[in-house]
């Protein structure tokens, strides 16, 4: 089985010189510079990151890809084929911040998933419920609906990241029981949705930090972490990557 995967999502943070310095320090750290670690910078820095990571073990990840597959008049969009062209390996699809600020619907996400797969990249489909949805007991229905875009997608070619919206950037982590239950449910729902007996890989995201990573990553059904804030600092990201490596 592949090791536990850790992807650092920088979101809309960083500048060229500071990011190059950060990446150099991370690559010098063997806890980070190893297989099954990825970094997802803002789009303008993707090609630069691909150069900085050359010869390392770390994968280039994109935070988004266009819903449009072919080149054309789509101002501001970056296609999955372009991402593949610069050496990208993973693409986040449907991060809750994209759903919230860009109104990404299941229909749009289906197109994005198809384009990412067609380009030979691995989509990381992000799913997660809001606090209201959880408090109203609708979280399971919400996640199941979000997962429905995986119908017809080979589970060996994609990853799901479960990120409860209320735990993102808030310091509030879902309890280990909540995480374990949702990951087990996601795996079993995907078996039905994808009509397969191959179990999908699932990552947890939402305030993963150096001090909680080991407990979260020890959960059997958690195959890795999608890390926001803590991926912008060497020691915290290194501790998370080390916890993942230890638990393979």
Ligand X SMILES: O=C[C@H](O)COP(=O)(O)O
Positions marked catalytic: 95, 163
Min dist CB 112 to ligand X, Å, is 16
Q: Is 9 annotated as a binding residue?
A: yes
182 CB neighbour count, 10 Å cutoff: 23
Nearer to ligand X, 123 or 228 (CB): 228
**228 assigned to a ligand binding site:** yes
**Tokens, residue 32:** 């980070």
Is 128 annotated as ligand-binding? no
Neighbours of 161 (CB within 10 A): 28
Residues in region 78-107 near ligand X by CB under 6 A: 95
Subset of residues 132 to 171 that bind ligand X, contact rule: CB under 6 A: 163, 168-169
Instruction: Candidates 4, 9, 221, 236: give the one binding ligand X (CB under 6 A).
Output: 9
Region binding ligand X by CB under 6 A among candidate stretches 20-28, 75-83, 189-197, 199-207: 199-207
Q: Residues binding ligand X: what is the number (CB under 6 A)? A: 14
Considering only residues 203-242, where is the footprint of ligand X by CB under 6 A?
A: 205-208, 226-230
Listed ranges 83-91, 138-146, 147-155, 201-209: which one lies at the site for ligand X (CB under 6 A): 201-209
Q: CB of 243: closest distance to ligand X in angstroms?
A: 14
Q: Helix/strand/coil (H, E, C) string of the chain?
A: CCCCEEEEECCCCCCHHHHHHHHHHHHCCCCCCCCCEEEECCHHHHHHHHHHCCCCCCEEEECCCCCCCCCCCCCCCCCHHHHHHCCCCEEEECCHHHHHHHCCCHHHHHHHHHHHHHCCCEEEEEECCCHHHHHCCCHHHHHHHHHHHHCCCCHHHCEEEECCHHHCCCCCCCCHHHHHHHHHHHHHHHHHHCCCCCCCEEEEECCCCCCCHHHHHCCCCCCEEEECHHHHCHHHHHHHHHHHHHCC
Contact between 185 and ligand X (CB under 6 A)?
A: no
Q: Which is nearer to ligand X, 95 or 134 (CB)?
A: 95
Shortest distance (Å) from residue 230 CB to ligand X: 6
User: Binding site for substrate: what residues are annotated?
Assistant: 9-11, 169, 207, 228-229
List residues binding ligand X (CB under 6 A).
9, 95, 163, 168-169, 205-208, 226-230
User: Binding site: what residues are annotated?
Assistant: 9-11, 169, 207, 228-229
């Amino acid at each position: 089985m592949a090791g536990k995967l850790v992807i650092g999502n920088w979101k809309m943070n960083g500048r060229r010189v500071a990011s190059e310095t950060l990446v150099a320090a991370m690559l010098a750290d063997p806890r980070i510079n190893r297989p099954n670690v990825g970094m997802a910078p803002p789009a303008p820095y993707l090609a630069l990151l691909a150069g900085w990571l050359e010869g390392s073990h770390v994968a280039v990840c994109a935070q988004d890809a266009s819903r449009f597959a072919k080149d054309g008049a789509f101002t501001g969009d970056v296609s999955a084929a372009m991402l593949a062209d610069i050496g990208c390996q993973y693409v986040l699809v449907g991060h809750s911040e994209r759903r919230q600020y860009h109104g990404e619907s299941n229909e749009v996400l289906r197109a994005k998933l198809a384009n990412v797969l067609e380009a030979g990249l691995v989509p990381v489909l992000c799913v997660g419920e809001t606090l209201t949805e959880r408090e109203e007991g609708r979280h399971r229905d919400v996640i199941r609906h979000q997962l429905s875009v995986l119908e017809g997608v080979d589970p060996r070619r994609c990853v799901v990241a479960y990120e409860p919206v209320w735990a993102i950037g808030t310091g509030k982590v879902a309890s280990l029981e909540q995480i374990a239950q949702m990951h087990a449910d996601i795996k079993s729902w995907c078996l039905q949705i994808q009509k397969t007996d191959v179990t999908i890989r699932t990552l947890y995201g939402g305030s993963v930090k150096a001090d909680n990573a080991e407990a979260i990553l020890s959960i059997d059904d958690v195959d890795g972490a999608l890390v926001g804030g803590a991926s912008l600092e060497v020691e915290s990201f290194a501790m998370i990557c080390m916890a993942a490596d230890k638990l393979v």
